């Protein structure tokens, strides 16, 4: 009879399990579902998110009396399908968050790298601008700026990016100050390398882990801020199916048609919770001190 010996894992497999093999299941599934829903919204949505049928207004969800499988999550006050609007709302939230993180992250990273590496007057000026940006009441300033510039998809992205870049700049600048004291940076300076070369080849690659964590944690904040602006009527304009706009539409019907606000609100809650949980896990994986613990 042959004896089955346990197969020992390779060193690479052990490192994977120790560092990245235990990805949190709940936030991963939520975010995968969000991305797939946003990408295939046109195929998944049973109806157009903007088509109204006043004769079918305030139809309850399918499990309630008068509910129908044609509108599984019910309809709103204009007879629009809530499920279809929630699905297309994920597309809006995903696109806004990706564009804002891309714009704000690029500006903030450049400012942080230049301020941290150059120091002196450049650092003082850039950090004072960053301090001003961090001290502004974000929601209030966003409401004023969007209201003045007229609510639109593009203006929402520009305004949120304008208010978000200081969060990136402050963190990246702190990382840059620590990295530029390392010996490999000093050797690059002695060898006559330019500042741009040192920043691109030595400083930036070492701040990427921190940048990834910041981006992940800020996605939830962007989704909440965009939802808040839409709720206040100065975000994505109607009839676009933004989650915040859907919640605002249903606030006057909470006693009679609670599903109008519940399902978009629940979608926003699960998305932000999943992103924050994944960001915390990513921070633990990329922080050497926490990883050793």
Q: Are 111 and 162 in contact (CB under 8 A)?
A: no
Q: What is the pLDDT of residues 133-151, one digit of tens each?
A: 888 887 888 888 877 777 7
CA 101 and chain centroid, separation:
7
Average pLDDT over residues 11-34: 67
Q: What is the pLDDT of residues 99-123, one digit of tens each?
A: 999 999 999 999 999 998 888 898 8
Please give the domain boundaries of the chain with CATH numbers for all domains. Answer: 25-292 (1.10.3720.10)
Q: What is the pLDDT of residues 250-290, one digit of tens each?
A: 888 888 889 999 999 999 999 999 988 888 888 777 765 55
> Does the reported pTM lie above 0.85?
no
Considering only CA atoms, which of 231, 263, 265 is closest in space to residue 74? 263
């Amino acid at each position: 009879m042959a004896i089955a010996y346990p197969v020992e894992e390779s060193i690479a497999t052990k490192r994977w399990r120790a560092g990245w093999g235990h990805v949190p299941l709940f936030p991963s599934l939520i975010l995968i579902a969000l991305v797939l829903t946003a990408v295939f919204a046109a195929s998944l949505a049973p109806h157009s998110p903007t088509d109204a049928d006043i004769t079918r207004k305030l139809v309850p969800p399918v499990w309630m009396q008068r509910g129908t499988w044609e509108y599984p999550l019910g309809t709103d006050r204009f007879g629009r399908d809530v499920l279809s609007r929630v699905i297309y709302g994920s597309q809006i939230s995903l696109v806004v968050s990706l564009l804002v993180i891309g714009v704000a992250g690029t500006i903030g990273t450049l400012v942080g790298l230049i301020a941290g590496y150059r120091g002196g007057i450049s650092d003082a000026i850039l950090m004072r601008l960053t301090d001003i940006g961090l001290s502004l009441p974000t929601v209030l300033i966003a409401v004023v700026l969007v209201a003045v510039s007229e609510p639109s998809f593009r203006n929402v992205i520009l305004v949120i990016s304008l208010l978000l870049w200081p969060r990136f700049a402050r963190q990246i600048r702190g990382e840059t100050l620590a990295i530029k004291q390392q010996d490999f940076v000093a050797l690059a300076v002695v060898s006559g390398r330019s500042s741009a070369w040192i920043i691109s080849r030595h400083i930036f690659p070492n701040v990427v882990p921190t940048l990834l964590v910041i981006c992940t944690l800020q996605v939830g904040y962007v989704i909440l801020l965009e939802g808040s602006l839409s709720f206040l009527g100065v975000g994505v304009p109607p009839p676009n199916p933004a989650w915040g706009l859907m919640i605002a539409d249903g606030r006057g019907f909470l006693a009679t048609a609670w599903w109008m606000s519940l399902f978009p609100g629940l979608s926003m809650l699960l998305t932000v919770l999943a992103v924050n949980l994944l960001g915390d896990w990513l921070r633990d994986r990329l922080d050497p001190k926490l990883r050793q613990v």
